[in-house]
A and B are shown apart, each in its own frame.
Chain A
């Protein structure tokens, strides 16, 4: 009973971690926090993949002379190995975008940015209206 509960305990916690990551992404308004949420989500997906590749009593997939050794599944390891490095590159891209947004809008809170955009939009509309009026005159 306890062994079988331990057998899927990892999956449960990994799913809860994923949901925490998703909640940080959609629930928080701070853009930096959203990136951290994505990182949490990403790492828990990696954990799920690696957990699936595990074999009890197996060793790391580095071949030995002994032919009776059991190796854990190397395929998820390869997928995740490259995904980690790509993940850091894309996180850096997201951070660069946030830094640029902060230097132009002066804030990284979602509400402030959309309010700023709304004001800009109205200003543009007003100038457009003025120019149309001037042209018609």
Chain B
């Protein structure tokens, strides 16, 4: 039996435990820290699944910057989720039904690690050979990211740029602008 599969199964079950405790907690700081731990274990899983670039990004972005942003935003928000008695029957039922359907469908998915599954037959071999012969870069992920799928990455950069500008616009401080407007009005008078 494959040792990688066992490590994977262990890590993914650990993630399930974290998600379960996320369901129970009402304290906001606990939620944020648990989310950070969840991302870190996801990064470990990406390493065992051979996705080193993704693991690197997840550890730096998901577990690092994302947690800092949550903590920075938390300073303005209530510390505790309010305890309300509201019926969660319908959301829970719909999630369970949807999950059951997905698990039923998972019997048709190819087994993990099978080299003959459809995803490995098209495009990927071309990219691996092309990265060596045409582009001459050992890291296939970089060559796909920047060259073969340059359009996609351009779009992603524009999305990040737009999100940054939107946050800057939403969270700008109004008071300074009011002062400037007052000064302008006085000058004009």
Binding site for B on A (CB under 8 A): 2-4, 6-24, 26-30, 32-33, 36, 39-40, 43, 46-47, 50-64, 70-78, 80-82, 84-86, 88-93, 95-100, 102-103, 107-109, 111
Partner of A77, one of B22, B51, B164: B51
What 3 A-B pairs have minimum CB-CB distances, sorted nearest first?
A56-B113, A89-B163, A7-B111
Q: Are A36 and B163 in contact (CB under 8 A)?
A: no
Q: Are A36 and B31 in contact (CB under 8 A)?
A: yes
Interface of A is mostly: helix
| A to B CB contacts below 8 Å, 15 in the list | A6-B5, A10-B112, A13-B13, A13-B16, A14-B12, A17-B12, A19-B96, A27-B91, A32-B77, A32-B81, A70-B115, A75-B119, A75-B127, A82-B152, A88-B69
Binding site for A on B (CB under 8 A): 1-2, 4-6, 8-9, 12-13, 15-16, 19-20, 22-23, 28, 31-32, 35, 38-39, 42, 45-46, 49-54, 57-58, 61-62, 65-66, 69-70, 73-74, 76-78, 81-82, 84, 86, 88, 91-92, 94-96, 98-99, 102-103, 106-107, 109-115, 117, 119-120, 123-124, 127-128, 131-132, 138-141, 144-145, 149, 152-153, 156, 159-160, 163-164, 166-167, 170-171
Complex contacts, A24 vs chain B, CB 8 Å? 22-23
Interface of B is mostly: helix
Whole-angstrom distance between the Cβ of A16 and the nearest chain B Cβ: 6
Bound complex: CA A56 to CA B110 (Å): 13
Whole-angstrom distance between the Cβ of A6 and the nearest chain B Cβ: 5
Bound complex: CA A55 to CA B117 (Å): 9
Whole-angstrom distance between the Cβ of A29 and the nearest chain B Cβ: 6
Complex contacts, A97 vs chain B, CB 8 Å? 170
Complex contacts, B159 vs chain A, CB 8 Å? 86, 89-90
Whole-angstrom distance between the Cβ of A101 and the nearest chain B Cβ: 10
Q: What residue of chain A has the Cβ atom nearest to residue B106's Cβ? A: A11
Complex contacts, B149 vs chain A, CB 8 Å? 78
Bound complex: CA A121 to CA B92 (Å): 32
Using A6-B6, A53-B119, A77-B54 as known contacts, say yes or no to A86 and B156 having CB atoms under 8 A apart.
Answer: yes
Q: Are B61 and A93 in contact (CB under 8 A)?
A: no
